[in-house]
Structure 1
Amino acid sequence: MSTQSAVASSGLHAAPALGRRPVARIDGWALKSNWRSVAIRSGQARTGAAVKADAYGLGAEMAAKALFGAGCRDFFVAWAEEGVRIREAMPGKNFRVFVLQGLDAQAAALCRLHRLIPVLSTPDDVALWREAALGSFPGVCAVQLETGMNRLGLDEEDARAAAKLAREGAIDLALVMSHLASGDDPASGQSVVQLERFRALSALFPHVGRSLANSAGVFLGPDYHFDLTRPGIALYGGETALDGDGTLRPVVTLQAHVLQIRWAAKGEAIGYGATAKLKARRRIATLGIGYADGYLRSASAPDGATGPQMFAAGRRVPVIGRVSMDLTTIDVTDVPEDALAPGDAVEVFGPNVSVDETARHAGTIAYEMLTSMGSRVQRQWV
């Protein structure tokens, strides 16, 4: 079966052959649909989008354009350089870009030059931003409050000092925000504590927009929405368990290509360290993908039964043996011999095997699976 036939039979959009390197097919329509679904969940709040880490590995420029087309006007990045890329990808468009971390003199200059909004999380951030604005109108900024995560944010004393500066016109605040540490685990009770803390501290900044909810926070309900929500992983098709209505769609289909298929006899071993020893004669396909491409070594499966699965020629097949830098082996004994051949595409994760499922078997989360996709993985928007 050809690569094109394999793509068609697995329900993917047909696309030109791209050789045998791994391919991430990114469904822009699904990304837009997910943003709109989250926007509906956000009620009266504006809905932004986290496009940091190259839009979770998918390509920040393309993702931002798609999200802008869906209606998004607030984007969140980690570093100022990421924000510059978003600005340059959509010249002349009216939207806001918030920079979540890393404010130094160079970042402050980039923020002022490219109309980026730095999120000030420390007294040093506040002082640096004020210094950068001397002699001109204060640049627009945001403030992050510490509400219980103990990662980034102003404590109460520093928040009061920032509020005083805002009242005096020394800083021009566009947003007050904090971040939920356990939004995906409502039973922990931490989100309720953070919510109350955020309400108390954000009251120091009347008439300034407030933001608390990440993807998980959106699904915690209206109390967490405030004026602006900041979904991330939910937009890209991960953590779909948050969505009890099943409206979130898979966005990324990661494909690898078959390089070789061989029969291995009972008693033989598969891969590095001989971790998988066969109890019966099995048909093994070698794929051109490994941990250098972001398919994590922790996805290795010593027995082909307890590890992750992939989707080949219309059926699920198990990973077997140790994942290596460039190669991964799967057991295709149950696939008809004439249904799979070298050059054919196999779904690593996507609509048939979710990225969440794959991540669980690798002992991690969808965020890491997506952001770990290496430069050898070809991104193709469909």
Structure 2
Amino acid sequence: MSTFDSTDAATAGAILTIDLGALVANWRALGARAGAEAGAVVKANAYGIGIEPAVTALARAGCRSFFVAHLSEGIRVRSVAPDAAVYILNGLLPDTCGVYAEHGLSPVLGSHEELLEWASFRQTGAQVRPAALHVDTAMNRLGLWPGEGLNLARERSGVIAAAGIGLVMSHFASSEDEADPANARQIAAFAEIAAAFPDTPASLKNSSGHFLKDCPSYQLTRPGYALYGGNPTPGQANPMQPVIGLEARIIQLREVEPGTQVGYNGRWTAKSRRKLATICLGYADGYPRNASWTDTVTGGSALVGGVICPFVGSVSMDLIIVDVTDAPAGAAVRGASVTLIGGSLDIETVGAGAKTVGYEILTSLGRRYARRYVGL
């Protein structure tokens, strides 16, 4: 069974297919691998696939803990998962405690100022859900220093008790690189933190953390990228099921002679007679402009009739030109669909062609696509 969003597939220039069954299967596989409860990171509109459909599918499958970056995202999660724990990773902005209370959201507290403001709010008698404590073990981005966390743990009856901490957590900096010695240092640092909070659930594993040797799962894991089909083990076969596919339609074809310059500023020149197809998709749809292919720089590609066909010239706002000379006969015709993500063009390959990472490809997925949800 499949459903479309409000955009009519018949009139759309491109169709994004989202397999919610694969999303749930990935979540279950990661939970089974960890041997612990798996939460789900659904920030950035669930990595581009849509918070509401993603959270609804995961909650129905049994997911009880969700993580987002912003309060506005947490409110959206709460609207479809009324009983779940919903954590706001970016911390407590000043004077927002009342919003957390109103929607039953949990801040991830990472500084003394945040702890004090949250503890003070709780002491007014406000009804709130337990907060999380973030201890920074490597990123130098958000969170308390490990020594600060240990000192707070020793106080017991101090601000930690007043803040009502229900989860202690940290975040890996290099878990996708199993050989990076920073991983072992972080595992050891967090083990000390978790031991200092023996009665509080702990969380360390992100997507790639599920595949690190000697990394405890603790009580809760926080997969994100891998849920959506991203490869948590770069350089190895992807253990996750693909979740998204992207197709765009050909709107015009032409043949060009050798020496013809193509696209804005003529940055690609035909070296022989070529057949070109213009497809209905561009950087306004979230496909990176860095996927442009010039005379000196390689870029992105499309699958046309199962054959990899390179882009030519610049990715423009609404259009991309593809060299379909080598496509099978009949595959490149007006109105036909070509694949931008899917098959051999997985998220990592597309990211590499655009000189970026798969994370950016996912989280940039545009609003103009007709979105088809399958696996419901």
Report the TM-score when normalising by structure 2.
0.91
Cα drift, residue 42 of structure 1: 0.8
Choose which of 153, 177, 182 in structure 1 pairs with 2:143: 153
Q: Which moved more, 1:132-141 or 1:357-366?
A: 132-141
In the TM superposition, what are the counterparts of 1:128-143 in structure 2 within 5 Å?
128-136=117-125, 139=128, 140-143=130-133
Cα drift, residue 205 of structure 1: 1.3
CA distance change for structure 1 residues 56 and 33 in 2, over 3 Å: closer, same or farther? same
Structure 1: segments with no counterpart, 5+ residues: 1-11
In the TM superposition, what are the counterparts of 1:186-225 in structure 2 within 5 Å?
186-221=178-213, 223-225=215-217
CA distance change for structure 1 residues 241 and 135 in 2, over 3 Å: closer, same or farther? closer
Number of aligned residues: 368
Native 8 Å contact 1:105 1:132 kept in 2: no
Residue aligned with 1:187, SS: coil
Task: Establish whether residue 282 from structure 1 lines up as the match of residue 282 from structure 2.
Answer: no
CA distance change for structure 1 residues 307 and 34 in 2, over 3 Å: closer, same or farther? same
Equivalents in 2 of 1:292, 1:32: separation in Å? 29
Task: Establish whether residue 163 from structure 1 lines up as the match of residue 158 from structure 2.
Answer: no
What's 1:107 paired with? 96
What's 1:368 paired with? 360
What's 2:39 paired with? 48
What does the per-residue CA deviation read over 1:123-163, in whole Å, with 9 as the maximum and x for residues that have no partner? 11101111221221674111000111111111134324543
Identify the structure with the greater helix proportion: 1
What's 1:4 paired with? none
What's 2:56 paired with? 65
Choose which of 79, 93, 107 in structure 2 pairs with 1:118: 107
Equivalents in 1 of 2:214, 2:103: separation in Å? 33
Cα drift, residue 315 of structure 1: 2.3
What does the per-residue CA deviation read over 1:219-264, in whole Å, with 9 as the maximum and x for residues that have no partner? 1135242221100000001125459575411101112111111111
Choose which of 326, 332, 335 in structure 2 pairs with 1:340: 332
What's 2:75 paired with? 84
What does the per-residue CA deviation read over 1:41-67, in whole Å, with 9 as the maximum and x for residues that have no partner? 112x21011000100011011101111
Equivalents in 2 of 1:332, 1:110: separation in Å? 53
Instruction: Kindly provide the amino acid, as one letter, of the partner of residue 196 in structure 1.
Output: A
Equivalents in 2 of 1:165, 1:53: separation in Å? 36
Native 8 Å contact 1:130 1:138 kept in 2: no
Task: Establish whether residue 295 from structure 1 lines up as the match of residue 291 from structure 2.
Answer: no
Equivalents in 1 of 2:371, 2:233: separation in Å? 26
Native 8 Å contact 2:302 2:310 kept in 1: yes
Residue aligned with 1:147, SS: coil
What's 2:301 paired with? 309
Cα drift, residue 304 of structure 1: 9.8
What's 1:226 paired with? 218
Structure 2: segments with no counterpart, 5+ residues: none
Equivalents in 2 of 1:49, 1:280: separation in Å? 50
Q: Which moved more, 1:312-321 or 1:125-134?
A: 312-321
Residue aligned with 1:223, SS: coil
Task: Give identity over the alignment, percent.
Answer: 39
Report the TM-score when normalising by structure 1.
0.90
